[in-house]
């Protein structure tokens, strides 16, 4: 049986070698009335060179373009491959339609949740091989639309393949876990940058574990929290989409016990986040900053010879809206804080700081007392706690 | 032995024929070893690395994706058919066991002196000059 | 012991007349002689990969196979002239060449080797037999499409060399079926023996075949009849019906769908090979 | 948390063993001993004095040796180090504890607990107990220690200072320049100083890769944050309101082309929609009237002006457009860019003779090309 369909399909494929978007099957990915426009390539020229061959439009330089040679027969093979992929996608879209109709008639919430999970998977499967989606994901970051399940899947895979591993390595090796919280099951990607910086080495996203000078962290950071799981889809009434962000320094010297205490440096709560609106940036702080902040930002300003200190940023998912009036900064117990407010840690980030020449000026700006100075040789006095 | 046609092909070449002296000051045996080694080594013989443009990378990825899907579909179809065939053997034997125990015993007896036929051939890309053997000697 | 069992079974057979008739169906197939036909996508994919592979191949070590100053080297040089080198005073509108060892590294190397046969002149005095003995002759493969394919001879064993063919017969010229042989109620024989003797009786004397197993591969129930299928391959010879009114054909899977009865085909179709 | 609860059962520390049971094993020599000895049994050496030097719950100081051994009979655990000959020594002052580690169930460990009643190993999900160990300095010592530099810092200081001066000079110059240019917009921009400083901040943020709109927001945020800090918690709502009003007016009045600051020009603000429309318009114009033909010098400068129109294209877009419409050498397939029948010995004026490789015939061709096909 399959042979019949295969031969029929191959005949059609031969007739449509160079012309695309003509046959019925190809409509799956060229039809844009029910699909988001972010699933197709925006630049018409690049789209044409992808489907009809010729010199690549992504090479702008005219000489390099002329000197470029595509692999032999790639266009013809691509057309046949596209037919094959579109056919598979067509089956998946049929499944999507079926699941959607089932969803509208279903009333049981549990079955509905299962159906939604299936629907999401079908939507991913229907687009995951779309060459236009792959192109946009690789080369056109503007078109990555996190409201589409397929882009979320691609983003998640990319995160897991590198950034997540780097983060977990740094969290463990720098003992952020278990010094602040026991452990972390990462569910969201947390990216941090300090956008007030005008030096290129400090203005981009921070790699976990980097040592930063005080002037580079003197104003509140932009925090990007990318949500991957489908349950976190937000609408305003749904309280599970509210997040709490806490920045702590577990290395604040405590001379009375000859040990360390944890200090709270920044606290945000009730921050609504969704797949598309996922940044806590200056714009948001400018308009709603007062509402979110329960503990305003004070940079970590290590004292001379107090060694390197860790800035641990934790992102929690809230189970209900919180009313945190204010919080004691000194001797902050983050475990207790999470337990009291019923918070689930979903993401974390860490950078490090040490004393540098910009510390004193920033202390003055923030009206903080001058920092203590410690002897540079470590003594053998025992622990007093 | 050179055929006459080859000789005719060689003749125009002979006019440019020059016998060279050995270029290097090495013995012929050493030269031969050098030739053999260099034929095996990669130096200067490697092609340029293929650097694909963005479009071509996506095209290549899509081709590979499509191929993997295609193969997966084909293999799973074959596996399904084999499963069905096995199931129908089981069904037939179960039925035989119930209705015709005697035939079941015969059908289940191992054929010990049976040999795989040498005449069964692996398919080739092009057929032999006589595709089928008609005269059977018993 | 065996006699006792036999006696009991025959007794039981007599006692109920409604017991279905046992029969054996021979599923005799001609296995493919040539490789599978590729689909358009398959052949295109292989072609594409082959081109990539050629592009990434090492340069042919000419100096190893053709010694400097020999006749064969001269012939090779004439066939493969050196490409234009990267002259800085020349404009190359489509990229500057990168020549290493007489090959442009940007492309696959296209080599022409001296042919062992002449392309123009055929020797007049050379007979066909002589030319087939000639080791330096040009190799021309046989066509994958045979005469039987062209004349659409459905009884030929030389048709559709790339497919598995199955024998179907028709006793009256209208109803086609796989060869089926009923077992007598008096004397029981093994199913595969029944199929073999039946096949030989209708015209399989001149066939060299190989019975895959004595185990039936399928059971088809029809009204008051049980058909057990026995798999077999034809190795050589020809099916020649004893009775002239018996018609036969060698058919591939899709053709069987046309000739066999619908419900019957649906029941047995998984036994037929797709290739 | 669920992971923690599921695993914590498994990771509960194994009960500590008494150290005495480790060392109280009496030695047994199993090899037979000949009465008369042998040739190989004559060179006996002195004992190496191996074994534990500190016992369970002994208080040790940093550097004190806990165990001498051949190989790791006992592995180093928390707050201890191991030497080249596997000697285990203390890194922190505290109490010696011998223990098993659930992650390596067949190893014996020795570690130092900072408190006598704290058992080792520390539970896997509990925070570590850490000692600070530095003493606070006061008075003159503190000032001296604070100003003390590392050699690296000391050597880099003059360079850093020069760099800082250069930066501030550039900032001053640019702000002055912006002020000068802002005088044109006097009727709408009241505070030139504030405007010029804002423009400079936006310029700095744009050069590190922020989009213009985001840079504007960031500049506002930074200004208000500094304002808040300067007032130390006092009410700043009036100043805030004032600045936000100023920003709204200013950003809608004037903007600067940041693609090349050397000849930066202020220009009247255009909305993003208007900008993209203009972009489209210029690209269309370039494509219809200036592509695929040999351009005269005047036309070339027109193209350049179009590409450099202030505030329309980014730096990257400008180079891309220049590459496309003003290439170094015009391709051969452009009509009129090749003059086939030309006297190669005496080419006419304005014609350059070149050799060109023809890919079809795989030969070299001598052709004449008008001077205009070359960009310079």
**What CATH number has the domain bearing residue A312?**
3.90.280.10
Reported as a single tens digit per residue, the pLDDT across D43-65 is 778 888 999 999 999 999 999 99
Q: Is residue A152 part of a domain?
A: no
Class level of CATH domain C14-34+146-271: alpha beta
Spatial CA neighbour of C232 closest among C275, C192, C273: C192
- CA dist list (Å): D62 to A378, D50, D85, D89, D350: 11, 20, 18, 8, 87
| Alpha carbon D304 to chain centroid, angstroms | 36
Domain ranges of chain C: 14-34+146-271, 40-123
Confidence of residue C121 (pLDDT cuts 50, 70, 90): low
Residue B27's SS3 state is coil
Angstrom distance (rounded) from CA C109 to CA C92: 20
Residues A122 and A94 in one domain: yes
Domain count, chain A: 2
Provide the β-strand partners of residue D351. Answer: D370
Residues A358 and A211 in one domain: yes
Q: What is the ipTM of this complex?
A: 0.83
Q: What angle do CA A71, A74, A75 make, to 5 degrees?
A: 135
Reported as a single tens digit per residue, the pLDDT across C222-250 is 888 999 999 999 999 999 998 888 999 99
Asked if the C-beta of A384 comes within 8 angstroms of chain B's C-beta atoms, the answer is no
Does the predicted TM-score (pTM) go above 0.90?
no
Residues A120 and A203 in one domain: no
Could you tell me which residues come within 8 angstroms of residue C228 by beta carbon, excluding any fewer than 6 positions away? B92, B96, C22, C23, C24, C25, C191, C216, C218, C219
Architecture in CATH for domain D1-21+47-130: Beta Barrel (2.40)
* Token pair recorded at residue D109: 């460990």
C-alpha distance from D123 to closest chain C C-alpha (Å): 57
Q: Is residue A179 part of a domain?
A: yes
Q: What is the DSSP string of D261-295?
A: GGG--EEE---HHHHHHHHHHHHHHHHHHHSSSPP
Q: Does the pLDDT at position D263 exceed 70?
A: no
Asked if the C-beta of A286 comes within 8 angstroms of chain C's C-beta atoms, the answer is no
- CA dist list (Å): B114 to A5, B102, B107, C200, C211: 40, 22, 15, 19, 10
Residue A24's pLDDT is: 45
Asked if the C-beta of A56 comes within 8 angstroms of chain D's C-beta atoms, the answer is no
Instruction: Give the A window 267-306 contacts with D, CB below 8 Å.
Output: 281-283, 285-286, 304-306
Residue B42's pLDDT is: 83
Angstrom distance (rounded) from CA C236 to CA B128: 14
Angstrom distance (rounded) from CA C239 to CA C203: 6
Residue D252's pLDDT is: 85
Using a CB-CB distance cutoff of 8 angstroms, which residues of chain D are in contact with residue A183? 3-4, 125
Residue B19's pLDDT is: 53
Is-contact D68 D87, C-beta < 8 A? yes
Cβ contacts from A onto C, under 8 A: 55
- CA dist list (Å): A16 to A6, A178, D369: 15, 61, 41
Q: Which domain, by its residues, includes A34? A: 2-144
Q: Across residues C257-261, what is the average pLDDT?
A: 92
Residue B23's pLDDT is: 59
Residue D224's pLDDT is: 94
Residues A350 and A292 in one domain: yes
Residue D81's pLDDT is: 97
Reported as a single tens digit per residue, the pLDDT across D186-205 is 777 778 888 899 999 998 99
Residue D337's pLDDT is: 84
Is-contact D52 D58, C-beta < 8 A? no
Q: What is the DSSP string of D29-60?
A: --S---SS--GGG---------EESS-TT-EE
Q: Does the pLDDT at position B122 exceed 80?
A: yes
Reported as a single tens digit per residue, the pLDDT across C91-105 is 898 899 999 888 999
C-alpha distance from A70 to closest chain B C-alpha (Å): 7
Instruction: Give the C window 103-132 contacts with A, CB below 8 Å.
Output: 106-108
Residues A128 and A168 in one domain: no
Confidence of residue D283 (pLDDT cuts 50, 70, 90): very high
Choice among A21-30, B70-79, D154-163 with the minimum mean pLDDT:
A21-30
For residue C72, the number of C-alpha atoms closer than 13 Å in the C-beta half-sphere is 11
CB pair distance less than 8 Å for C91 and D356: yes
Angstrom distance (rounded) from CA A308 to CA A354: 5
What percentage of chain B has pLDDT greater than the value 90?
Answer: 49
Residue A341's pLDDT is: 93
C-alpha distance from C12 to closest chain A C-alpha (Å): 43
For residue C230, the number of C-alpha atoms closer than 13 Å in the C-beta half-sphere is 26
Residues A257 and A336 in one domain: yes
Confidence of residue D140 (pLDDT cuts 50, 70, 90): very high
Biggest CA pair distance of chain C = 106
C-alpha distance from A64 to closest chain C C-alpha (Å): 8
The end-to-end CA distance of chain D, in Å, is 68
What mean pLDDT, rounded, does chain D reach?
85
Cis peptide bond prior to A178, omega within 30° of 0:
yes
Residue C75's φ and ψ, nearest 5 degrees, are -65, -40
Using a CB-CB distance cutoff of 8 angstroms, which residues of chain A are in contact with residue D142? 372-373
DSSP state of D375: -
Residue C128's pLDDT is: 59
- CA dist list (Å): A101 to A32, A93, A275, D267: 20, 12, 25, 55
Cβ contacts from A onto D, under 8 A: 145
Residues A250 and A296 in one domain: yes
From C84, C93, C94, residue closest to D364, measured CB to CB: C84
Q: Do chains D and B touch (3 or more CB pairs under 8 A)?
A: no
Reported as a single tens digit per residue, the pLDDT across C175-215 is 999 999 999 888 889 999 999 999 999 988 889 999 999 99
Q: Is residue A139 part of a domain?
A: yes
The end-to-end CA distance of chain C, in Å, is 47
Residue C125's pLDDT is: 56
Mean pLDDT in consecutive groups of 10 residues from the start of chain A, 385 residues: 37 38 60 87 92 91 90 95 94 93 87 89 94 94 89 95 97 95 95 95 95 96 90 47 94 95 95 90 91 93 95 94 85 94 95 95 94 94 89
Q: Is residue A379 part of a domain?
A: no
Residues A198 and A51 in one domain: no
From C192, C207, C217, residue closest to B92, measured CB to CB: C217
CATH number where A37 lies: 1.20.58.1180
Q: Identify the chains in contact with C, defined as 3+ C-beta pairs within 8 A.
A: A, B, D
Confidence of residue D28 (pLDDT cuts 50, 70, 90): low
Residue D17's pLDDT is: 45
Residue C119's SS3 state is coil
Residue A356's SS3 state is coil
Q: Do chains A and B touch (3 or more CB pairs under 8 A)?
A: yes
C-alpha distance from B79 to closest chain C C-alpha (Å): 11
Is-contact A224 A349, C-beta < 8 A? no
Q: Does the pLDDT at position B2 exceed 90?
A: no
Could you tell me which residues come within 8 angstroms of residue A215 by beta carbon, excluding any fewer than 6 positions away? A358, A361, A362
Residue D164's pLDDT is: 95
Residue C69's pLDDT is: 86
* Token pair recorded at residue B134: 């008609």
Could you tell me which residues come within 8 angstroms of residue B4 by beta carbon, excluding any fewer than 6 positions away? C123
CB pair distance less than 8 Å for D356 and C90: yes
């Amino acid at each position: 049986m399959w042979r019949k369909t295969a031969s029929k399909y191959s005949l059609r494929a031969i007739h449509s070698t160079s012309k695309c978007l003509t046959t019925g099957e190809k409509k799956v990915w060229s039809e844009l009335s029910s699909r988001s426009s972010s699933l197709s390539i925006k630049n018409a020229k690049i789209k044409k060179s992808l489907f009809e061959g010729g010199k690549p439009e992504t090479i702008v330089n005219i000489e390099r373009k002329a000197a470029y040679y595509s692999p032999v027969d790639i266009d013809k093979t691509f057309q046949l491959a596209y037919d094959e992929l579109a056919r598979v996608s067509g089956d998946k879209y049929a499944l999507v339609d079926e699941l959607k109709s089932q969803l509208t008639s279903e009333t049981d919430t549990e079955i509905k949740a299962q159906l939604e999970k299936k629907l999401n998977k079908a939507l991913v499967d229907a687009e995951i091989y779309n060459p236009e989606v792959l192109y946009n994901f690789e080369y056109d970051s503007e078109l990555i639309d996190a409201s589409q399940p397929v882009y979320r899947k691609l983003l998640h895979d990319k995160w897991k393949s590198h950034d997540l591993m780097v983060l977990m390595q740094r969290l463990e090796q720098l003992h952020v876990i278990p010094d602040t919280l026991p452990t972390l099951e990462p569910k969201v990607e947390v990216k941090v940058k300090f956008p007030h910086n005008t030096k290129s080495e400090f203005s981009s996203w921070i790699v976990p574990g980097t040592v930063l000078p005080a002037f580079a962290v003197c104003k509140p950071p932009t925090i990007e929290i990318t949500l991957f799981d489908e349950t976190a889809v937000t609408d305003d009434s749904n309280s599970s989409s509210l997040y709490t962000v806490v920045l702590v320094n577990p290395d604040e010297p405590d001379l009375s016990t000859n040990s360390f205490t944890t200090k709270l440096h920044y606290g945000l709560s009730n921050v609504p986040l969704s797949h598309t609106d996922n940044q806590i940036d200056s714009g948001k702080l400018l308009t709603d900053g007062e509402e979110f902040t329960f503990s305003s930002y004070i940079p970590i300003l290590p004292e001379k010879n107090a060694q390197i200190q860790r800035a641990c940023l934790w992102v929690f998912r809230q189970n209900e809206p919180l009313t945190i009036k204010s919080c004691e900064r000194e001797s902050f117990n983050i475990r207790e804080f999470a337990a009291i407010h019923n918070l689930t840690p979903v993401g974390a980030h860490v950078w490090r700081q040490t004393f540098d020449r910009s510390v004193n000026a920033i202390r003055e700006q923030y009206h903080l007392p001058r920092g203590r100075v410690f002897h540079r040789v470590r003594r053998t006095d025992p622990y007093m706690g | 032995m050179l055929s006459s046609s080859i000789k005719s092909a060689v003749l125009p070449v002979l006019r440019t024929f020059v016998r060279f002296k050995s270029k290097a000051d090495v013995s012929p045996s050493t030269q031969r070893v050098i030739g053999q080694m260099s034929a095996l080594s990669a130096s200067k013989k490697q092609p340029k690395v293929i650097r694909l443009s963005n479009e071509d990378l996506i095209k290549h990825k899509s081709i590979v994706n499509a191929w993997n899907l295609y193969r997966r579909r084909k293999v799973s179809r074959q596996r399904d058919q084999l499963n069905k065939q096995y199931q129908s053997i089981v069904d037939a034997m179960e039925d035989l066991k119930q209705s015709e125990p005697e035939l079941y015993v015969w059908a289940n007896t191992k054929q010990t002196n049976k040999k795989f036929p040498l005449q069964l051939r692996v398919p080739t890309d092009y057929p032999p000059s006589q595709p089928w053997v008609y005269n059977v000697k018993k | 012991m065996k006699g006792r069992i036999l006696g009991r079974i025959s007794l039981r057979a007599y006692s109920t007349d409604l017991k279905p008739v046992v029969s054996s169906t021979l599923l005799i197939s001609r296995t493919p002689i040539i490789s599978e036909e590729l689909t358009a996508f398959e052949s295109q994919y292989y072609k594409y990969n082959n081109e990539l592979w050629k592009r990434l191949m090492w340069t042919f070590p000419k100096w190893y196979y053709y010694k400097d100053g020999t006749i064969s080297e001269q012939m090779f040089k004439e066939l493969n002239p050196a490409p234009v080198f990267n002259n800085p005073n020349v404009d190359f509108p489509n990229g500057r060449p990168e020549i290493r060892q007489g090959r442009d590294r940007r492309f696959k190397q296209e080599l022409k080797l001296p042919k062992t046969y002449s392309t123009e002149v055929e020797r007049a005095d050379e007979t066909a037999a002589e030319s087939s003995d000639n080791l330096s002759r040009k190799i021309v493969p046989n066509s994958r499409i045979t005469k039987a394919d062209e004349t659409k001879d459905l009884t030929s064993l030389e048709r559709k060399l790339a497919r598995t063919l199955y024998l179907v017969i028709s006793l009256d010229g209208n109803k086609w079926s796989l060869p089926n042989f009923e077992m007598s109620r008096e004397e029981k024989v093994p199913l595969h023996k029944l199929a073999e003797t039946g096949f030989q009786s209708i015209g399989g004397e001149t066939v060299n075949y190989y019975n895959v197993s004595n185990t039936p591969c399928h059971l088809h129930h029809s009204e008051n009849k049980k058909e057990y299928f026995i798999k077999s391959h034809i190795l050589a010879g020809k099916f020649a019906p004893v009775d002239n009114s018996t018609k036969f054909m060698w058919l591939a899977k899709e053709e069987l769908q046309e000739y066999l009865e619908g419900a019957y085909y649906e029941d047995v179709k998984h036994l037929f090979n797709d290739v | 948390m669920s992971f923690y609860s599921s695993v914590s059962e498994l990771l509960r520390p194994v009960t500590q063993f008494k150290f005495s049971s480790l060392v109280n094993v009496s030695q047994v020599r199993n090899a037979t001993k000949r009465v008369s000895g042998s040739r190989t049994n004559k060179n006996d050496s002195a004992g190496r004095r191996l074994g534990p030097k500190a016992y369970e719950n002994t208080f040790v100081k940093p550097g004190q040796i806990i165990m001498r051994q051949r190989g790791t009979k006992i592995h180093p655990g928390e707050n201890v180090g191991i030497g080249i000959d596997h000697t285990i020594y203390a890194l922190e002052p505290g109490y010696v504890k011998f223990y098993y580690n659930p992650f390596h169930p067949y190893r014996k460990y020795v570690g130092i607990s900072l408190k006598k009643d704290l058992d080792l190993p520390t539970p896997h999900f509990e925070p570590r107990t850490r000692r600070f160990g530095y003493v606070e300095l006061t008075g003159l010592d503190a000032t001296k220690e604070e100003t003390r530099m590392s050699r690296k810092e000391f050597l880099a200081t003059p360079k850093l200072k020069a760099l800082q001066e250069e930066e501030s000079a550039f900032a001053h110059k640019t702000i002055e320049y912006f002020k000068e240019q802002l005088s044109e917009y006097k009727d709408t921009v009241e505070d030139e100083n504030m405007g010029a400083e804002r423009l400079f901040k936006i310029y700095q943020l744009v050069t590190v890769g922020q989009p213009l709109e985001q840079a504007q927001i960031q500049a506002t945020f930074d200004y208000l944050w500094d304002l808040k800090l300067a007032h130390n918690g006092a009410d700043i709502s009036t100043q805030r309101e004032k600045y936000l009003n100023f920003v709204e007016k200013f950003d809608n009045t004037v903007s600067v082309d940041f693609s090349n600051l050397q000849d930066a020009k202020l220009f009247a603000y255009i909305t993003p929609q208007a900008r993209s429309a203009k972009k489209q318009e210029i690209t269309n114009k370039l494509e219809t009237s200036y592509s695929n033909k040999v351009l005269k010098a005047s036309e070339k400068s027109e193209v350049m002006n179009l590409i450099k129109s202030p505030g329309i294209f980014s730096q990257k877009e400008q180079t891309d457009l220049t590459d496309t419409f003003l290439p170094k050498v015009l391709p051969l397939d452009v009509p009129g860019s090749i003059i086939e029948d030309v006297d190669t010995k005496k080419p006419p004026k304005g014609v350059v003779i070149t050799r060109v490789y023809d890919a079809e015939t795989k030969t070299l061709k001598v052709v004449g090309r008008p001077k205009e096909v070359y960009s310079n």
